[in-house]
Amino acid sequence: MAKIMKVSKPFKEEYEQLLEEAQDDRRQSGCIVNVLAVHVITPECHEVIVDSTGDDDVSAPPVS
């Protein structure tokens, strides 16, 4: 499943919301969830692999 969102919130707030949704998806499906967030102006990129339901999710290295 892919979710593409265009939002007006600050990038950090939106990224945190995406991460919470990914953790919820992990709890419901039992599947590993990858979150990739890219800022449209600065190309700042964050990727997280959600493989648990806690705060010990694995951050991926920056995407270049």
Summarize pLDDT for 21-35 with one digit per residue, the tens.
888 888 888 888 887
pLDDT attached to residue 27:
85
Q: Would you say residue 51 has pLDDT above 80?
A: no
pLDDT attached to residue 20:
84
Contact 47, 60 (CB under 8 A): yes
Burial class (CB in 10 A: 0-12, 13-18, 19+), 33: buried
Q: Give the chain's mean pLDDT.
A: 72
Count CA within 13 A, CB hemisphere, residue 39.
Answer: 13
Contact 15, 8 (CB under 8 A): no
Q: 4: pLDDT confidence band, cut at 50, 70 and 90?
A: low
